[in-house]
Structure 1
């Protein structure tokens, strides 16, 4: 292959299966589990070879747009574009919109690699060999999916039955199979020639859009109209909500792959996991001599075959077997690994109760285009936060109707505007912002600015922010 491929990375969705680390506002692709990079960042790195790939297009939603931009910036990986889906319409409409964007920005002969941002993949020579095989098959006019070689009779995946071998090294597709019962999965594993449906694809844009026009014209029209009527916002393209919502809510598998006569599958023996449960995280992790997968800040005694992870307090686990112990900043999950597929039921219970619903929605740490904040302590008429600001970024010029604030710098240098006065604060220096006063915080330095903010007042909600000037276009 001499033609470069445009990656199309799907980075939307809601996080429930890996609770309490993943939440609705911070699903698993944006979470650091054991390593120092998120699954989304690992995905970006897999498509960062400039000899093979163009800069990627990312599909996400309004809520995750700054997470996407910031995590790409951390790796210094440029993006071709960020498409914002205004409503969830499954993968067919998302892929159609991305393919239309790529056609417009490149040409209709361009090949796109559609991939999720929440898989764990070992990107070795075997993996890139499969990528090149898929690209060759796509160049020959095939709509290509990657079929993972099964390692167990899993019932949580759909399957693909491969057919005749093609010149590219791919195979024709005999049929797609829904998630099977265990007996059927065992039969397919014994017979061979069946693969897990990975949800990754390779298409030539012109061929995909032609097949969309044949088999899913309503999807194609909605996606094209949503892009044509969309608006540019900083580095983002907001798809038109009315047009996009008109699309049928259908996956690319049902819309195209199960109907076309041009489907092909690349047998893919590389290591792959969709990390759909804590059990799968344990299976894909690096286990010690006792079969444990443990993150930093943990102590294990007489414990085996367990997963222990924390993003907050130190965890000490004693005398356990086949256990998952997962601690976020504000919640802990304990359960048997074999039952971890059912975490979603716990999340539903928590979400249904007003006293616990917030535990399923947001983390104490929230991210903003300028950095973010962590809620440290909440009380009657006061709140304490840790604020962190990326070098060169500034918050909006704003004021509050119901609260005053104290800022104490603990790291870096802060440029603080209060009314007409601008001052520089360094470590261990502080400032007071009276209720109703126009103010702004900026980081003019080369390192991340960190400060402690103490809010006091009758109402401390995030919606008590009146933005006067904002470089990110927020109201």
Structure 2
């Protein structure tokens, strides 16, 4: 029987979470906030890959501005490696950095730091299945079981069966509502949740084929980088010359070896206030309250305050957020556009 391959969790910390303004700010963005429960989304991401003999200590890829938050929240004495990006260049270079820092034959499990997963056992089962496919040089995405006709996510169209998963027949961009309803009804589509498993060497070979300049510069940035305790700093000038791209566009949509494992694990990207509301406990009227709030004749209302009382009467499908002297009121439908507000953009 084959020896089980080691899985290296790679936790990506990027972005400023502007759609969760005014709670999420550049200085302390979404991953480092206790949005669901008492621990932060980053702490939850680290905890999901801890305490299992198949998982190596985590590698975190982040910008310099969040190093102190990461080291404070990762836990005293927890073994880890922190790759400090000189600047953000999207997910493909970030993941390639991690792949270049582990042995070619071992497996990366790429996890965003700001997602919520309710069922950790289901997550680990999917991770182990994905690792088995990845060791056979499949490039594996988690296919999230859709719960409603969501127009804000990309979709994966399931193809032929593979051991523990499926070939990806097609990557589908964010659909309109009618197509999203058709995808849900067919049972053949999953959400693309941004969680991946790759054999490190296989990913780097694919990157060299489809984005050769990026692959070369990542290799040079690693070769010219330096260690500083648990931190690794790629060569800044070389890394700055990389033209950024997402792992989906750079590799996954170009490879002939794209696969998926189905994952029904209570997942949410917590991409806006409406998504957070959906992930929180709610009363019989669909309302959720954090802090002090009085809601009368309200349905599907989220009220969150760090101090002043929120009082609302007769509202449906609204999010009301009070944080650090700022007040946000949005419909659930409008929550996707919060990041376009001047306050959020200039946070």
TM superposition score category, shorter chain reference: over 0.9
The equivalent of 2:114 in structure 1 is: 118
Shift of 1:141: 1.5
Q: CA deviation at 1:306?
A: 0.7
Contact 2:21 2:344 in 1 (8 A): no
Q: Kindly indicate whether structure 1 or structure 2 has the higher relative contact order, using CA contacts under 8 Å at least 6 residues apart.
A: 2
Q: Aligned partners of 1:247, 1:267: CA distance in 2, in Å?
A: 33
For residues 421-444 of structure 1, give each alpha carbon's deviation from its aligned partner in whole angstroms, at most 9, with x where no partner exists.
xxxxxxxxxxxxxxxxxxxxxxxx
Unmatched tracts of structure 2, length 5 or more:
none
Q: Give the deviation of 1:64 after TM superposition.
A: 0.4
2:5 aligns with 3
Q: Which residue of 2 aligns with 1:252?
A: 247
Q: 2:66 aligns with which of 49, 61, 64?
A: 64
Counterpart of 1:350 in structure 2 is: 343
Query: Please, what TM-score do these two structures have when normalized by structure 2?
Result: 0.94
Cα pair distance change 1:351/1:125, threshold 3 Å: closer
More helix by share: 2
Q: What does 1:50-61 correspond to in 2, within 5 Å?
A: 50-61=52-63
8 Å contact from structure 2 (residues 338, 344) kept in 1: no
Closer, same or farther: CA 95–139 of 1 in aligned 2, 3 Å = same
TM-score, normalised to structure 1, is: 0.70
The question of whether the paired residues in 2 share the 8 Å contact of 1:21 and 1:328 is answered with yes
Larger of the two Rg values belongs to structure: 1
Match of 1:178 in 2: 173
Q: Is 1:157 aligned with 2:160?
A: no
Q: What residue in structure 1 maps to residue 289 of structure 2?
A: 294
Deviations along 1:278-326, one digit per CA (max 9) or x if unpaired, are 1111111111122111113434344331111123334344443322111
Structure 1 contact 113–202 (Cα < 8 Å) conserved:
yes
Residue 283 of structure 1 aligns with which residue?
A: 278
Name the structure 2 match of 1:138: 134
> Size of the alignment, in residue pairs?
345
Q: Which residue of 1 aligns with 2:41?
A: 39
Corresponding residue for 1:440?
none
Where do 4+ consecutive residues of structure 1 move more than 4 Å? none
Closer, same or farther: CA 93–67 of 1 in aligned 2, 3 Å: same
Shift of 1:99: 0.7
Secondary structure of the residue aligned to 1:211 is helix
In 1, the alpha carbon distance for the partners of 2:175 and 2:85 equals 31
1:389-468 equivalences under 5 Å are: none
**Structure 1: tracts of 5 or more residues without a match:** 361-475
Q: 2:95: which partner in 1?
A: 95
SS of residue in 2 equivalent to 1:17? helix
SS of residue matched to 1:197: strand
Between stretches 121-130 and 239-248, larger displacement belongs to: 121-130
